[in-house]
Chains A and B, each alone.
Chain A
């Protein structure tokens, strides 16, 4: 046997043998030929560059196209300032509301068994899959001049549409799922054992919630709030429908971008846009950090 082996191996010149082996080894089991690899990477990088990186770069390039002074001047316009203030206000209210009810909803879904749970989860998801324009439309149908409650509201001189309450409602609608969605899987995974242990040790319901449940889900809560906030500040379609575009009063930052853009005030438009783009980038960085914490929390 050994004789035979030596014989047949020596028949192949060493250089050829090395080359054959190298090529066999290179045709690895779980990878593709080098040319294919390079082509796939190039295509992926090119596509992401054209469709994602360049638009992002354009925002900043346009914002600073007339220099930093013009940029800062555009941002310090009173109307710009009021748009920024309104955006912060609306985001604060709707994030606050959705935080509160998102935690409660997730808690109810994750820790209790009841009929129609799947249906309830689907309902919570609904605003994700509805066009933002439709989200705005439903509020116009309720509160608008021809809406169900329009006449009553006018009689009592309550302004919802084309005013801050309408914007808050529409924003709350479109950001409804974020907190609950971030928490449901997390809380389901954690189960109810720790809560049961706490209660068996004599903790009250509220003590259990604040001392056991909340610390376990804090990163999930932050994660949900972060995404909720990004969407709340950036929402355009729904807010556009309910706002009425009253300058200095019902313009959030995204709406103000549209107005400035349509008036060919490009530096100002992209100036505000650049603030929103930075918000998006900061959100992504914090998201990456939170994801690391969430991963660590897992067994």
Chain B
């Protein structure tokens, strides 16, 4: 099932949650909607599910107008951040719920329902919990049951709203891997919302970065990391050094002095220079476009993280490889290997 969203606009009072969003999700894709809170990602997901309605715009499933149907006719699997399991039902009955409320004409008989629930509990590897109540399960188990319940109705698409947001770090990591392999297994068009970039980069085939109700960039994880399309994306994904610069015709100035780098097509005026922490090469004094004094060094694993004060007074953090150890008080030259300049 492919999903196409065109020019979606959604306002809550004076707040614009979605400000003209266009998106195409291909069949079988695992797509992540990534953005800070308030960026509109959850609203977009809820509109696709039919839990909210846009003020303007189109939503189509396989080319068919989805807005003409309510949530209960869209056949969408939705997994909630806080699981939304039915507390008064056992795990088995939770998963069976969607099958039991089907219209009589298409409803499976009891044996059919049992077989299907068994199959799903096996899929999420929790068949031994069938008779337990949700409050007897751990957070990770609850989320897997919520997923099994969503899959019971054989949805055409699967939507997950911050599925791992309420879990602790270790369980999150396990479930991420598990979700990716599950997606390979069932190959269902899936969208998941997250504010955790690591999660998005690790799980999704394709990323949609959102901010303030707009899509900032769509691309593969590597693409977005290496070629951020805007200052927001550069700042939001990965750790960046940001320095205020002035771009003029063919030149870049920082704190009054000319930097020996090309403006790289950036427009003239006040701008910001973005460099990844590990893309700032450290050499002896005079070897780079910046000069700085090392304030403080912490070494762990393969990197040493150094706090460097630049000549102008700005303090930046860089990640240098181990081997040539830095020390507090060293004077160093810094040369960005890769950089981007965006208008401020």
A/B contact in complex, CB under 8 angstroms: yes
Contact check, B63 vs A5: say whether CB atoms are below 8 A apart.
yes
Contact check, B65 vs A8: say whether CB atoms are below 8 A apart.
yes
Complex Cα gap A27–B73 (Å): 11
B contacts with A, residue count (CB < 8 A): 18
CB contact list, A227-267 vs B, under 8 A: none
Contact check, A8 vs B64: say whether CB atoms are below 8 A apart.
yes
Give the residues in chain A near B261, CB-CB below 8 Å: none
For the complex, is A9 an interface residue (Cβ under 8 Å from B)?
Answer: yes
**The one of B53, B58, B64, B65 that contacts A25, using a Cβ cutoff of 8 Å:** B53
Contact check, A29 vs B63: say whether CB atoms are below 8 A apart.
no
Contact check, B63 vs A8: say whether CB atoms are below 8 A apart.
yes
Give the residues in chain B near A24, CB-CB below 8 Å: 50, 67-70, 73
CB contact list, A1-56 vs B, under 8 A: 1-2, 4-5, 7-9, 12, 17, 20-21, 24-25, 27, 29
Give the residues in chain A near B62, CB-CB below 8 Å: 4
Chain B: minimal CB distance from A15 (Å)? 13
Contact check, A9 vs B70: say whether CB atoms are below 8 A apart.
no
Give the residues in chain A near B63, CB-CB below 8 Å: 1, 4-5, 7-9
CB contact list, B49-66 vs A, under 8 A: 50-51, 53, 58, 60, 62-65
Complex Cα gap A8–B60 (Å): 10
Give the residues in chain A near B53, CB-CB below 8 Å: 25
Of all chain A residues, the one with the shortest Cβ separation from B67 is A21
For the complex, is B4 an interface residue (Cβ under 8 Å from A)?
Answer: yes
For the complex, is B2 an interface residue (Cβ under 8 Å from A)?
Answer: yes
Chain B: minimal CB distance from A161 (Å)? 52
Give the residues in chain B near A12, CB-CB below 8 Å: 65, 68
Complex Cα gap A8–B64 (Å): 6
**Contact surface of B with A, Cβ cutoff 8 Å:** 2, 4, 24, 50-51, 53, 58, 60, 62-65, 67-71, 73
**The one of B24, B64, B65, B71 that contacts A1, using a Cβ cutoff of 8 Å:** B24
Of all chain B residues, the one with the shortest Cβ separation from A30 is B51
Contact check, A29 vs B65: say whether CB atoms are below 8 A apart.
no
Chain B: minimal CB distance from A29 (Å)? 6
Contact check, A5 vs B68: say whether CB atoms are below 8 A apart.
no
Give the residues in chain A near B2, CB-CB below 8 Å: 1
Contact check, B70 vs A5: say whether CB atoms are below 8 A apart.
no
Chain B: minimal CB distance from A171 (Å)? 43
Chain B: minimal CB distance from A211 (Å)? 41
Of all chain A residues, the one with the shortest Cβ separation from B49 is A29
Contact check, A29 vs B60: say whether CB atoms are below 8 A apart.
no
Identify 28 residue pairs between A and B in the complex whose beta-carbon atoms are under 8 Å apart, listed by A's number. A1-B2, A1-B4, A1-B63, A2-B4, A2-B24, A4-B62, A5-B58, A5-B63, A8-B60, A8-B64, A8-B65, A9-B58, A9-B63, A9-B65, A12-B65, A12-B68, A17-B68, A20-B68, A21-B67, A21-B68, A24-B50, A24-B68, A24-B69, A25-B67, A25-B70, A27-B70, A29-B50, A29-B70
Chain A: minimal CB distance from B61 (Å)? 10
Give the residues in chain B near A2, CB-CB below 8 Å: 4, 24
Chain B: minimal CB distance from A220 (Å)? 31
Of all chain A residues, the one with the shortest Cβ separation from B60 is A5
Complex Cα gap A7–B70 (Å): 22
Given contacts A5-B4, A25-B53, A25-B67, 18 further A-B contacts (CB under 8 A): A1-B2, A1-B4, A2-B24, A4-B62, A5-B58, A5-B60, A5-B63, A7-B63, A9-B58, A9-B60, A9-B63, A17-B68, A20-B65, A20-B68, A21-B65, A24-B50, A29-B50, A29-B51
Give the residues in chain A near B68, CB-CB below 8 Å: 12, 17, 20-21, 24
Of all chain A residues, the one with the shortest Cβ separation from B6 is A5
Complex Cα gap A88–B69 (Å): 65
Complex Cα gap A27–B63 (Å): 23
Chain A: minimal CB distance from B154 (Å)? 21
Give the residues in chain B near A8, CB-CB below 8 Å: 60, 63-65
Top 9 nearest A-B pairs (CB, nearest first) are A20-B68, A4-B63, A5-B63, A25-B53, A24-B70, A8-B63, A27-B70, A21-B67, A5-B60
